Structure 1
Amino acid sequence: MAPLLPLLLLLAVMNAPGWAQRFYGGTLTVSPKWGSPNGTYQVELRNRHTTQYCYVNPWVCLYGNCGSTLRSTTGKIAWESYGLNWCLKETSSSLQLTGNLPFAVRFPRYSTSSYGKWVSNPRGHGIPYRMMAHVDLGTRSDTRRPNRPPVSTMLPIVRVTRNCPRTFNLNVFDPDGDRVRCRIPTSSSTYECNLCGPQQDFSLDEGSCSLTYSGSHRYGNRPIELVVEDFPTEPIRLSYSDGSYTNKQPFSAARRRRQAFVTEVPSAGPGTTGTQDQMMDQVQPAPQVQLLDQVQPAPQVQLR
């Protein structure tokens, strides 16, 4: 509904070596807390980014009052598979706000010739990496609680066998019970995307949030930017600490979450029949995440 949360996906169809710090993808989860008796609000930002060498590039306030950081911790979650150098780090930040008015954060804070870029892919080399989140903590008229963004999980790197059609169902969920949809951002005037458009050989079903690989003989890294939106099932009102409010209707523009992951399609492998796979995120402290495709008539996906 109101917050706009980033979801960037990198579908790796091949390894793309490089010496600079490159992004493979990222996600952001926003968890609002109840307001305090002193009139302040708290929110937790939990962002995960996958880079080549465990690089951390923090968020920066894009607009609104983003509050002050009470505490922040960073930990290494997973690393290295498919013969790639990659590292998934999670940063959890607790923010204190003086009100519940909407605000937005963006990633990355730094972008130079060596930092803040996508890994090399068919669209180019050194393309800036962009991700943003619009956060709306307004009190909902239906739940009397702070508005909560949708939640989505995705592996940072997904390997797809070349010329092997299959569909990936993204895990999406809204804690307020709103309807969730996904879309590919197309406007480069916002910070929600930089590639801004669909990837060749991939298509998205917006209603089910399923991503389909049609299969081809092309291979290489395929960055995919997605926006996850939630829509109320009935008209509601969001109220703010300054006395203002906004009305939200079903199917109106929603808060959005962007995420990024890499799907790797190896340079060899015969065509196979398509399958449908459910993508799951690892929640263990430090698992080694590896997704392997079995090149058989009915391929299995092993997640470990």
Structure 2
Amino acid sequence: MNYYPKNPDASGSITVVFRYKLTFHSCTQIDSWTCLGNCGTEISVELNIVNQELSGEWCQREGIMTRQFVSNAPLQLQLSGGDWMSNKQRVTSWRAETLVELRNRSDTGRANGSPQTTIVPVLRVPSNCRRDFHLLAFDPDGDEIKCRYGNATLAECDVCTPPSVLSLSSSCTLSFSPTTSGDEGSYAVQLVMEDFTRQTITLTQHNGSNMILNANVAISKLPVQFILKVDPVVPSCTEGVYLPKFLPPTPANRARLYTPVNQSLDISIIAEANVSTISELLFSGPHNVNQTRVGVGEYILRWTPSENEDGQSHPICFSLQAVFKSVTCPMNISLLH
């Protein structure tokens, strides 16, 4: 979940747009967030399909929830229930929490903007290949972003057992090292992404109350949860042989691209795999991103921002899959637009 506070109106009320992505086996699954604290008034909720995996394994949808707040006190949004995809840690029920900070920041003069991120629902890696996943992490206020595993005591997940096959850095990089066939399978990854100010600031509420916040305390947090699939070995871990290799003009990982409102942004993606066959482009981003396949290993993602998205940043993550004798060979990249 990412959130976008708009400027207060003449009465001081704040409208906040929450954009979140959830993934289920079915595109018709209904979700419901519970609000705690300063919940304001829900104006609208819109659900749209982002992307669906060709085999039908998953369907990701984007929810756009708009709320109006008379007060700028903080709030929490929680999601709980359901069933995780079967995984090695035996995590069953899911739980996620977003902490929203709306008080006025002394350094920017406005409400806090959340970190920006997204991810494809399932990341895949062959069991014999080392891989570093540099998660998309951008903050509109220039804050430092850090990642950690969820904490059950803080109600950030139900069962919070981290994947044994991954190591996580605070800078939001997940590292996978070659392992044995016994570790192949699916893992539930339940992360929390937080933003930290780079100096001590004051948070001011409409009622005049103040809070001093130093750089050691997170100002907001959001959940980042997905499945890591450790697949069978591939004959070579060299990119471009079995695993797809991105080629120019594919944007670099964590690249930032800009486009005006109502003008289309075309993202060209080209990749090669000399032995395996590139079969599919998977992506996560705004629901109105359209995918076109130009040729083998060549795709275009096209997005046209609307007036409602003016001034906002929107993350896009994409992954290419290749198949060799029924073994999936993935490669991933993420961007900010």
TM category, shorter: 0.7 to 0.9
**Distance in 1 between residues matched to 2:19 and 2:208, nearest whole Å:** 29
Aligned to 1:195: 159
Tell me the SS of whatever aligns to 1:272.
Answer: coil
Q: CA deviation at 1:71?
A: 1.4
**1:294–1:301 CA contact under 8 A, matched in 2:** no
Consecutive unaligned residues of structure 2, counting only runs of 5 or more, are 246-251, 255-282, 293-317
Question: CA deviation digits over 1:260-288, x for unaligned, max 9?
Answer: 12222223534636999947744453549
Q: C-alpha distance in 2, partners of 1:176/1:123?
A: 36
Matched residue type, 2:37:
G
1:215 aligned residue: 178
The answer to whether the Cα contact below 8 Å between 1:117 and 1:128 also exists between their aligned partners in 2 is yes
- Aligned partners of 2:118, 2:112: CA distance in 1, in Å? 20
Instruction: Pick the aligned partner of 1:292 from 321, 325, 337.
Output: 321
Q: Once the two structures are superposed, what CA deviation does each residue of 1:137-179 show, in whole Å capped at 9, x if it has no partner?
A: 1101111111112111222221111221110101101111111
User: In the alignment, is the contact (CA less than 8 A) between 1:162 and 1:271 conserved in 2?
Assistant: no
Residues 78 and 287, structure 1, Cα contact 8 Å, conserved in 2: no
Aligned to 2:211: 246
8 Å contact kept, 1:161–1:293: no
| Structure 1 unaligned regions, length at least 5 | 1-27
Distance 2:11 2:223 in 1: 33
* Alignment-derived partner of residue 30 in structure 2: 56
C-alpha distance in structure 2 between counterparts of 1:251 and 1:281, whole Å: 31
Q: TM-score, normalised by structure 1?
A: 0.78
Q: Which residue, out of 94, 101, 114, partners 2:66?
A: 94
1:78–1:286 contact (8 Å) kept in structure 2: no
Partner SS for 1:189: helix
Q: Which amino acid aligns with 1:250?
A: A
Per-residue deviation, 1:131:
0.7
Distance in 2, matches of 1:84 and 1:256, equals 31
Specify the alignment match of 1:123 in structure 2. Answer: 89
Q: Deviations over 1:234-268 (max 9, x none)?
A: 11101001211111111223321111122222235
Corresponding residue SS for 2:223: strand
Kept in 1: contact 2:162–2:189 (CA 8 A): yes
1:120 aligned partner, one-letter code: S
Whether the aligned pair in 2 keeps the contact of 1:233 and 1:250 (CA below 8 Å) is: yes
* Percent identical residues: 29
Q: 1:290 to 1:209 in 2, by over 3 A?
A: closer
Change (3 A) 1:35 1:303: closer
Quote the residue 1:301 is aligned against: 331
Instruction: State the 1:38 CA deviation.
Output: 2.1
Tell me whether 1:138 sits opposite 2:111 in the alignment.
no
Q: Is the counterpart of residue 163 in structure 1 residue 128 in structure 2?
A: yes
How far residue 197 of structure 1 moved from its aligned partner, in angstroms, is: 3.5
Query: 1:175, 1:77 → 2: CA distance?
Result: 23
Is the 8 Å Cα contact of residues 159 and 293 (structure 1) preserved in structure 2? no
CA contact (8 A) 1:162 1:215 kept: yes
Cα contact 1:201–1:213 (8 A) shared by 2: yes
Closer, same or farther: CA 166–294 of 1 in aligned 2, 3 Å: farther
Instruction: Name the aligned partner's letter for residue 78 of structure 2.
Output: R
Bigger relative CO (Cα 8 Å, ≥ 6 apart):
1
CA distance in 1 between counterparts of 2:100 and 2:232 reads 41
Change (3 A) 1:171 1:303: closer
- On the 8 A contact 1:170/1:278 being kept in 2, the answer is no
Change (3 A) 1:179 1:69: same
C-alpha deviations, 1:215-235, integer Å up to 9, x for none? 212211111111111111111
What is the total number of aligned residue pairs between the two structures?
263
Q: Residues 287 and 191 (structure 1 numbering): CA distance in 2 closer, same or farther, change over 3 Å? A: farther
Q: 1:222 to 1:92 in 2, by over 3 A?
A: same
Assess, with a 3 A threshold, how the Cα gap between structure 1 residues 67 and 77 changes in structure 2: closer, same or farther: same
| Residue 210 of structure 1, CA deviation | 0.5
How far apart in 2 are the matches of 1:98 and 1:242?
11
- TM-score, scaled to structure 2: 0.71
CA distance in 1 between counterparts of 2:30 and 2:58 reads 12
**In structure 1, C-alpha distance between the alignment counterparts of 2:71 and 2:332, rounded to whole Å:** 45
Which AA in structure 1 matches 2:159? L
Give 3-state SS (helix, strand or coil) of 1:174's partner. coil
